Structure 1
Amino acid sequence: MLTFDPEGLSLAQRDGDACVVCHKRWPRPRVRVGKLPDNSSVLACTECAEALLPAPMATVVAFPSR
Structure 2
Amino acid sequence: MMTFDPEGLTRAQCDGDACVACHKKWPRPRIRIGRLPNEAVLFACPECADALVPEPAVENVYPFPRRVAFS
Tell me the TM-score normalized by structure 1: 0.86
1:56 aligns with 2:56: yes
- Work out the number of aligned pairs and report it: 66
In terms of Rg, which structure is larger? 2
Counterpart in 2 of 1:21? 21
User: What CA distance in whole angstroms lies between the structure 2 residues aligned with 1:54 and 1:27?
Assistant: 24
What is the alpha-carbon root mean square deviation over aligned residues? Answer: 1.7
**Deviation for aligned residue 1:58:** 3.6
The residue identity in structure 2 corresponding to 1:48 is C
The residue identity in structure 1 corresponding to 2:45 is C
- Which stretches in structure 2 are left out of the alignment for 5+ residues? none
Counterpart in 2 of 1:5? 5
User: What CA distance in whole angstroms lies between the structure 1 residues aligned with 2:66 and 2:26?
Assistant: 51
User: What CA distance in whole angstroms lies between the structure 1 residues aligned with 2:62 and 2:27?
Assistant: 37
Identity value in percent: 62
Counterpart in 2 of 1:31? 31
**Deviation for aligned residue 1:7:** 1.6
The residue identity in structure 2 corresponding to 1:64 is P
- Which stretches in structure 1 are left out of the alignment for 5+ residues? none
